Amino acid sequence: MFGSKTVEKFREIETPFYYYDLALLRQTLDIYTKELKKHNYHAHYALKANANSKILSIVKSYGLGADCVSGNEVKLALNSGFDPSMVVYAGVGKSDKEIKIALEGDIFSFNCESIPEIQIIDQLAGSMGKRASISLRINPDIDAHTHKYITTGRSQDKFGISHWMFDDVIQTLNSCSNIHFAGLHFHVGSQITDYNVFSMLSKRINEIVARFEEKGMRVENINLGGGLGIDYDDPDANPISDFASYFSIINKNLRQESYQQVHFEPGRAIIGQCGSLITRVLYVKLGKGRKFAILDAGMNDLIRPALYQAVHKIENLTSSGRLMRYDVVGPICESSDRFAKNLLIPETSRGDIFAIRSAGAYGQVMAMRYNQKDLAPEYYSE
């Protein structure tokens, strides 16, 4: 929801642009860290959701670490002042160059996804006179019941190490002299709204931790990854995810010994609701049995609807006319460049300003310059 003063400001700015509500970000982080501390858990913000420098500096000021998935994200986290002892680095395809960046930075943990990766990290660490701290990313074979492109923890997915590899991976770890085994890592998907997934995951983790400990591998760190969803349908009713229930479900189901630390990697649930893509209507065009509202923002700015059939709430901020139906589309030369089909919104015309809500996570970071479009700039509520 935007006040009239904010909408007046939007009118003066060239569109499209991303707009971030920093007060909401702080409120979200206040609640998140309060609930986290209740259970003495640790969090590493997933930079991939939004790596904008202003946002990183606010997130860092709440004491969160960083979850990275590339050498450049590791560099960015370290250059942004995140404590190396709170930086984790995951990804199925870490290049030698990227591994060296992380070794140089003395990060807390590589989240390793395969035996050959562990062997390469061991070799590179040895050649640099370092000891790499690694956790194993486990594939727990759990369906997160989310979009197929953002489900990561089923046995057919490319992520993590499956149970039939456990003995081999333990043997590998025992034969690597430049590696310290830090613990186990899990991330089963994103935009998870069914909390049963987290209780199932916790119970599965108990079994897997026990299996590793029976084999003499002390699991000091258990990392449950990210994945908590947000309310895309009604961001004003639910601007902040239910962190209290999330952590208490995990606390109830996950076994934790006194020597074990529990970690999380939230992305979307921290920054998703804080961002909107602000755009203007360029033209209203009549099609066969429909009207198109053609925006100046497209899939190049926000690819989620085209890629995951994601539905973001769209508001016409400058018209209160009678409700009419439109296909809301972008200017890009692709039929998938559509934000909504048959959407009921106040009657629109050229120049109206629309807000595409809940675009703070996986919005700006996934933007591209297809059709040689400029990247949308960002503005802040402060």
Residues within the interface to ligand LLP (CB under 6 A) = 46, 48-49, 67, 90, 150, 187, 190-191, 225-228, 265-269, 304, 308, 361-362
Helical spans, DSSP H, in 105-157: 115-127
Task: Using the minimum distance from each CB to ligand LLP, give the nearer residue, 86 or 361.
Answer: 361
Concatenated DSSP letters of 217-253: ----EEE----B---SS-TTT-SS--HHHHHHHHHHH
**Least distance CB 48 / ligand LLP (angstroms):** 6
DSSP β-bridge partners for residue 285: 292
- Of 18 and 362, nearer to ligand LLP (C-beta) is 362
Between 87 and 317, CB nearer to ligand LLP: 87
> 320's torsion region: left (phi>0), alpha (psi -120 to 50) or beta?
alpha
The residue among 212 and 232 lying less far from ligand LLP, judged by its C-beta, is 232
**19/362 with CB nearer ligand LLP:** 362
Dist CA 230 CA 227 (whole Å): 10
Helix (H) / strand (E) element for 316: namely strand 314-316
Q: How far is the CB of 362 from ligand LLP (least distance, A)?
A: 3
- Smallest separation, CB 241 to ligand LLP (Å): 10
Among 152, 238, 249, 237, smallest CA distance to 199 is for 249
What's the CA angle centered on 233, arms 230 and 238, to 5 degrees? 50
Q: How far apart are CA 211 and CA 220, in angstroms?
A: 14
As measured in angstroms, the least distance from the Cβ of 336 to ligand LLP is 15
**Strand, coil or helix: 303:** coil
CB of 275 to ligand LLP, least distance (A): 12
Nearer to ligand LLP, 153 or 280 (CB): 153
What is the three-class DSSP state of 38? helix
Pick between residue 13 and residue 92 the one whose CB is nearest to ligand LLP.
92
Classify 216 in phi/psi space as left (phi over 0), alpha (psi -120 to 50) or beta.
left
Which of 332/361 has CB closer to ligand LLP? 361
Site of tokens 């809940």: 358
Query: What is the Cα Rg of the chain in Å?
Result: 22
Closest separation in Å from C-beta 312 to ligand LLP: 10
Nearer of residues 183 and 225 to ligand LLP, judged by Cβ: 225
Q: Where are the beta strands (DSSP E) in the chain?
A: 17-20, 42-46, 65-68, 87-89, 109-112, 132-137, 179-185, 221-223, 261-264, 275-287, 290-295, 314-316, 323-329, 338-346, 353-356, 378-380
Phi, psi of 126 (to 5 degrees): -60, -45
Minimum distance from residue 361 beta carbon to ligand LLP (Å): 6
User: Taking every pair of C-alpha atoms in the chain, what is the biggest distance, in angstroms?
Assistant: 71
Count of all residues that appear for the chain in the document: 382
Residue 267 CB, shortest distance to ligand LLP, in Å, is 3
Q: Residue 6 Cβ, how far from ligand LLP at the closest point, in Å?
A: 25
